[in-house]
Amino acid sequence: MSIATMSIADGDPGAYDTLILGIGNILWADEGFGIRTIETLHERYTFPDNVRVMDGGTQGIFLLPWVRNAKRLLIFDAVDFGLAPATLKVIRDDEVPRFMGAKKVSMHQTGFQEVLASADLAGDLPLQMVLIGVQPELLDDYGGSLRHSVKTKIDPAIERGLAILNEWNVSWELRGDSLPREEHIGPTALDIQDYENERPSTGGEPV
């Protein structure tokens, strides 16, 4: 979000009750799935004021204040389910913490499991939680982007996410106009197009 679109509510974690959170590291290929999904979601849809769409990165414990404030939490992430690459899976409520830590794809999930445990201890675990995860195809490609197979799961993941929001009676609307670049969730430098095209040593290789 750019400064231009920010309202005072953004400075106040108390001003929303539904958090749509992408987590992961865009620098590690398919680990960026959660972030790229919420970026796309934000580009295409608008939500009422009680909904926050957030790029959580790998912030771990520092996401706690945001998670504690949410009554409903929708997470997008890359998760090792032990399934075929690029398989999508939806996990609900009590199952969410277990899947966030059972088989760790990366460090950020250890951190996020602690966030949920701390929220629980503080008596502020979200009442409803859904994790929409994708089975990564490739992780150990530092500086790489999503593999094709995983990238094609962004749209289906968003469809499932919107269906969850419907269940929660959270409304959403298609954006009329395309979103100006400076209002994208991430900084321009990390937009997926630039990120892929300006990779120094791809040598024109398709990602």
Report the interface residues with another protein, using CB under 8 A. Answer: 1-8, 10-13, 25-28, 31, 54-66, 68-69, 80, 82, 103-108, 111, 114, 117-118, 120-123, 139-144, 186-190, 198-202
Token pair recorded at residue 34: 């959660």
Considering the complex, state which of residue 1 and residue 164 has its C-beta at the smaller distance from another protein: 1
Beta carbon nearer to another protein, 34 or 186: 186
Least separation, in Å, of the C-beta of 44 and another protein?
20
**Shortest Å, Cβ 163 to another protein:** 27
CB of 127 to another protein, least distance (A): 18
**Own/partner pairs for 42-46, CB < 8 Å, 24+ apart?**
42/179, 42/184, 42/185, 43/175, 43/178, 43/179, 43/184, 44/158, 44/174, 44/175, 45/162, 45/172, 45/173, 45/174, 45/175, 46/172, 46/173, 46/174, 46/175
If the CB atoms of residues 104 and 181 are measured against another protein, the closer one turns out to be: 104
The distance of closest approach from Cβ of residue 57 to another protein in the complex, given in angstroms and rounded to an integer, is 6
DSSP string, 39-94: HHHHHHEE--TTEEEEEEET-GGGGHHHHHT-SEEEEEEE---SSSTT-EEEEETT
Q: Supply the minimum distance, in Å, between the C-beta of residue 161 and another protein.
A: 21
Q: How far is CA 68 from CA 42, 154, 204, in A?
A: 22, 26, 44
| Residue nearer to another protein on the CB measure, 54 or 157 | 54
Looking at the Cβ atoms of 105 and 157, the one nearer to another protein is 105
